[in-house]
Amino acid sequence: MTTNHKPATALPWKYQAEGRAQFGILGSARLPAPHPTAQNNQTDAAYIAHAANAYPRLVEFARFVASQDPNGLTTEGNRARALLRELGEKP
């Protein structure tokens, strides 16, 4: 059984700093970054926003690589299909 890990909120996500607290903005919701220091909060929130926005491009690229090997004969094609399955996407 695979679990779909797509973001529940619309993309793109934005990183925003507000005063001393750092947040990642997910749609209209604010998500505090997980670490206790301000520097880590800023870095983590920016990283989370970047990773979330990259997700659709990653899926698109993995589908492209898999489509270049429809018969499952190459390592690259098989890895792309495995990645798509891991992400809960249809290969």
pLDDT at 91: 79
- β strands within the chain, DSSP E: 14-18, 21-26, 29-32
Give this prediction's pTM.
0.60
Mean pLDDT (whole number) for 18-24? 50
Extents of the domains making up the chain: 14-86
Q: Which of 29, 48, 51, 28 is nearest to 40 (CA)?
A: 48
Buried b (16+ CB within 10 A) or exposed e, 42-72: bebbbebbeebeebeeebeebbebbeebeee
- pLDDT, tens digit (0-9, with 9 covering 90-100), for 51-90: 888 889 999 999 999 999 999 999 999 999 999 999 888 8
